[in-house]
Amino acid sequence: MPICFWKLCHCPDGTPCVEHDGAECSQLNGVNITKESDVSDALTGAIAVAIATLEGESAAAEKARKQMEDKRTEIEKDRSDLQNLIDNATDRAGRRAVRDKYEELYKKYTNAITDLGDALDRYQRIVQYPIGQIGRTQPGLIIPYSDPAGYCACYQEKLKRLAAVAGALAAEQANFANLAASLNTYRQTARNYYKYATTLTLVAGGTLAWFLYIYLGITFWGWQTLVILIAVAAVLAGMIVYILYMEHLIAASQILILKLMLEYYELQSIPTCKKTGSSTTSGGTGWWDDLMEMINKALTPPPETVPDPH
């Protein structure tokens, strides 16, 4: 014997259920709904496409984050290697090693800050937010849900499940708002830091400067600037890593919101029992007969009173 989606009556067998004396529970457009995904229309299809899009963008953000993390690790190693050479340069051979490393890194990091700024722009919106499908789905949701025709245990179960999904949806929407605000603030901080970093200018060591350093141990400020710039580049790379991590969280939050919206819409679309004629008080065949009977009674004049002959 069939049982409805809500597991509380046997409407889908085509006859009024004995539990609620109702019909058509879990029947949507002629289809017996047995699971939420049986609800299928243009809106559910659009939500599925949006979720797939966000999942792709989330994967792209995570891939970019790992690449930038590797870049940051490389920058940190270069800074550490140069600083170690400087700290241990106690003779001419050590100072020559500093010069060689400096010239290698000078070429490598001349455009490092500009390259990181380009990356900051490139990853500005690797994930769409807020994705338009959220706004297009919201008007289709009845929150809080109610149905004047709802009367049975199936309807109460529907209300309970919809309320739970609505609560989870509200909580995730609040979480998304906080993530978006934090990301915008942090992105602006990174942009300001980038502007500061661009004020650093590398100065190549001339022949005389290196001669004085190697043979006499007299330092010049050019290599000190390089050490600072590499450290700044490492910090900026770390900021981009965190931005990409936040982009990944933004995508995950929107995916969850869309999944909750989809679940709510599917549950909202699944019917509960409709009263049959046997449940009416007039003995008619439905609400139309009840209404006509009420109208006829209102229009029928009362019978005349015959006086008692006694």
Contacts of residue 288, defined as CB under 8 A and 6 or more positions apart, other chains included, come to none
pLDDT tens for 50-71 read 999 999 999 999 999 999 999 9
Residue 34 lies in a domain: no
Helical pair 112-122 and 153-197, crossing angle rounded to 10 deg:
160
Q: pLDDT-derived band of residue 284, with 50, 70 and 90 as boundaries?
A: very low
Give the mean pLDDT of 3-16: 82
pLDDT for res 214: 59
CA angle 62, 67, 70 (to 5 degrees): 125
Q: What is the pTM of this model?
A: 0.77
The 3 state secondary structure assigned to the chain is CCCCCCCCCCHHHCCCCCCCCEECCCEECCEECCCHHHCCCHHHHHHHHHHHHHHHHHHHHHHHHHHHHHHHHHHHHHHHHHHHHHHCCCCHHHHHHHHHHHHHHHHHHCCHHHHHHHHHHHCCCCCCCCCHHHHHHHHHCCCCCCCCCCCCHHHHHHHHHHHHHHHHHHHHHHHHHHHHHHHHHHHHHHHHHHHHHCCCCCCCCCHHHHHHHHHHCCCCHHHHHHHHHHHHHHHHHHHHHHHHHHHHHHHHHHHHHHHHHHHHHHHHHCCCCEECHHHCCCCCCCHHHHHHHHHHHHHCCCCCCCCCCC
Residue 15 lies in a domain: no
Beta bridge partners of residue 274, listed in sequence order: 23
Closest CA to 158 of 257, 28, 51, 276: 28
Range of the domain at 111: 40-140+148-269
Instruction: Work out the percent of the chain whose per-residue pLDDT is above 90.
Output: 39
Q: pLDDT-derived band of residue 19, with 50, 70 and 90 as boundaries?
A: confident
Query: Higher-confidence residue: 56 or 108?
Result: 56
Residue 277 lies in a domain: no
Least confident residue range of 78-87, 200-209, 245-254: 200-209
For strands 27-28 and 22-23, give the pairing: unpaired
Residue 7 lies in a domain: no
Residue 12 lies in a domain: no
Residue 302 lies in a domain: no
Residue 261 lies in a domain: yes
pLDDT for res 300: 62
Residue 276 lies in a domain: no
Number of domains in the chain: 1
